[in-house]
Amino acid sequence: MTVITRFAPSPTGRLHVGNIRTALHNWMLARKNGGRFLLRIDDTDAERSKEEYVAAIRTHLAWLGLDPDGEERQSARLDRYEAAFERLRAADRVYRCYETAQELDLKRKILLGRGLPPVYDRAALTLSEADHAAKAAEGIAPHWRFKLDHDEPIAWDDGIRGPQKFDPAQLSDPVVRRADGSWLYMLPSAVDDLDMGVTDVLRGEDHVSNTAVQVQMFSALADGGQMPRFAHEALLVGSEGKLSKRLGSLGCDAFRERGIEPEALVALLARIGTSLPVEPIADRHALIETFDLATFGRAPARFDEAELERINTAIVHQLDYGAVADRLPQGMDATGWHAIRPNLATVGDAAELWRVVTGPIEQPDFSAEDRAYLAGAARALEWGEDPWHALTGALKEATGRKGRALFLPLRQALTGMDHGPDMAQLLPLIGEAEARARLERAAKGH
Ligand code: GLU
């Protein structure tokens, strides 16, 4: 059976790092099994859903390299939900309710006050047809709840959490449809997963109790369709160990602005919260190869921004010219990229380092002794295979200088900096004429 996974964001905001992680894992699960990864836009909430968010979700998945094999939209499938609802209604699995939000809140508070779980009391089930007619006469439309089967214990073998058991009597019958006819998340999602042949529902553990309810919806609706496997991953927390507001707002735009490569985000999010080591692996196939729900732990996954930066730097150092060419300063070729790459924290920093090659650079003031040394360097400069080692070798012999005294004035004169890229790689990029001019200028002083 082909593995089919889905990522089902509600387009009511931008993807944050937690959603990105869920999307990534669903993509990896599908890719690992040669299956399909669907993007499902959960846009039944017409008021809060926005087209700009749908567009941003697509753009960000593309930036992350998580290519969906298909896209579905709940707002285009309302007739399917209607049909499912009619079947549930015919089977007496949904019922009409009229409690207001305040009434429900009061009921909950009373139960909690008595130390009882705040489970809906099913008062609406006792209403007669005459009661319903009276409500209708008043112009009050019902909202609908799904009737959980209390005789059927709920159980599934969770791909991450192991065997799960729920007593349906401890759960509230979920509202599936509002009085205005619109849908809540629960039923459309189950209908879609069945229709689309989703084999694996992989999502955050905040959905565990939804799954308990949906397991009964699947049974009620399956009609030959297959209930998916479920896996709930532990939630993401910040490095301080708490769910932070910051994580909820960190999205692809913020990462991109900070020069984080999608590969770094992918490498980190693929493995945090698992027993596998987090490593700067730029090759997705290697990550997919080792992806395994059995390695996922129950403890929250820690997202550490400093770790992301470290991975990013290590990944930048591995990136091929072809992967970054369109983001490099003009004139910077593969040789330039390879010379500068090991000194970058982000690809964006290349521009600044490239200015060292193209100039102009700003040199420090040198002592008279160093100026004489640099004048000698300008004369000694010879252009061959490896001008840097030729130059420093000759100067070492001629002046007796070594270490810092030998190298630093040269680096400063040639680059204007105390640290930076490997001079042996940099010098050929600067070129003979420019290198000599810089040395001569430094020798003259300001
Ligand atoms: N739209 C739901 C959410 O964003 C989808 C959850 C699911 O994966 O079923 O939470």
Q: Which two tokens stand for residue 378?
A: 């300008």
pLDDT tens digits for range 121-163: 999 999 999 999 999 999 999 999 999 999 989 999 999 999 9
pTM for the predicted model, two decimal places: 0.89
pLDDT tens digits for range 31-49: 999 999 999 999 999 999 9
Rounded CA gap, 171 and 214, in Å? Answer: 12
Indicate the residue type of 277: P
CA 244 to ligand 1 centroid distance, Å: 20
| SS3 of the chain | CCCEEEECCCCCCCCCHHHHHHHHHHHHHHHHCCCEEEEEECCCCCCCCCHHHHHHHHHHHHHHCCCCCEEEEHHHCHHHHHHHHHHHHHCCCEEEECCCHHHHHHHHHHHHHCCCCCCCCCHHHHCCHHHHHHHHHCCCCCEEEECCCCCCCEEEEECCCEEEEECHHHCCCCEEECCCCCECCHHHHHHHHHHCCCCEEEEEHHHHHHHHHHHHHHHHHCCCCCCCEEEEECCEEECCCCCCHHHHHCCHHHHHHCCCCHHHHHHHHHHCCECCCCCCCCCHHHHHHHCCHHHECCCCEEECHHHHHHHHHHHHCCCCHHHHHHHCCCCCCHHHHHHHHHHCCCHHHHHHHHHHHHCCCCCCCCCHHHHHHHHHHHHHCCCCCCHHHHHHHHHHHHHCCCHHHHHHHHHHHHHCCCCCCCHHHHHHHHCHHHHHHHHHHHHHCC
pLDDT tens digits for range 298-337: 999 999 999 999 999 999 999 999 999 999 999 899 999 9
Q: Are 297 and 234 in contact (CB under 8 A)?
A: yes
- Answer yes or no: is the C-beta of 214 below 6 A from any ligand 1 atom: no
- Answer yes or no: is the C-beta of 25 below 6 A from any ligand 1 atom: no
What residue owns the CA closest to ligand 1's atom 6?
A: 8
CA 10 to ligand 1 centroid distance, Å: 7
pLDDT tens digits for range 423-446: 998 999 999 999 999 999 999 986
- Answer yes or no: is the C-beta of 11 below 6 A from any ligand 1 atom: no
- Answer yes or no: is the C-beta of 10 below 6 A from any ligand 1 atom: yes
- Answer yes or no: is the C-beta of 203 below 6 A from any ligand 1 atom: yes
Contacts of 41 (CB under 8 A, 6+ apart): 8, 9, 11, 49, 54, 57, 71, 72, 73, 74, 75
Q: Which residues are known binding-site members for ATP?
A: 245
pLDDT tens digits for range 222-234: 887 789 999 999 9
Q: Are 35 and 5 in contact (CB under 8 A)?
A: yes
CA 278 to ligand 1 centroid distance, Å: 27
CA 365 to ligand 1 centroid distance, Å: 62
Which ligand 1 atom minimizes the distance to the CA of 22?
8
- Answer yes or no: is the C-beta of 192 below 6 A from any ligand 1 atom: no
pLDDT tens digits for range 236-255: 998 877 767 778 788 999 99
What residue owns the CA closest to ligand 1's atom 5?
A: 8
- Answer yes or no: is the C-beta of 233 below 6 A from any ligand 1 atom: no
- Answer yes or no: is the C-beta of 189 below 6 A from any ligand 1 atom: yes
Q: What is the pLDDT of residue 248?
A: 78
Which ligand 1 atom minimizes the distance to the CA of 19?
4
Rounded CA gap, 305 and 128, in Å? Answer: 58
Tell me the CB-side half-sphere exposure of residue 160, using CA atoms within 13 A.
26
Which ligand 1 atom minimizes the distance to the CA of 10?
1
Q: Which residues pair with 236 in a beta bridge?
A: 301
Region at 79 (left for phi over 0; alpha for psi -120 to 50; beta for the rest): alpha
Q: What is the pLDDT of residue 327?
A: 94
Which ligand 1 atom minimizes the distance to the CA of 189?
9
What residue owns the CA closest to ligand 1's atom 7?
A: 8
What residue owns the CA closest to ligand 1's atom 10?
A: 9
Which ligand 1 atom minimizes the distance to the CA of 42?
1
Which ligand 1 atom minimizes the distance to the CA of 206?
10
- Answer yes or no: is the C-beta of 44 below 6 A from any ligand 1 atom: no
CA 8 to ligand 1 centroid distance, Å: 5
Domains, the chain, in order of start with CATH, read 4-71+186-237 (3.40.50.620), 82-177 (3.90.800.10), 245-316 (1.10.1160.10), 321-357 (no CATH), 359-444 (1.10.10.350)
Q: What is the pLDDT of residue 315?
A: 97
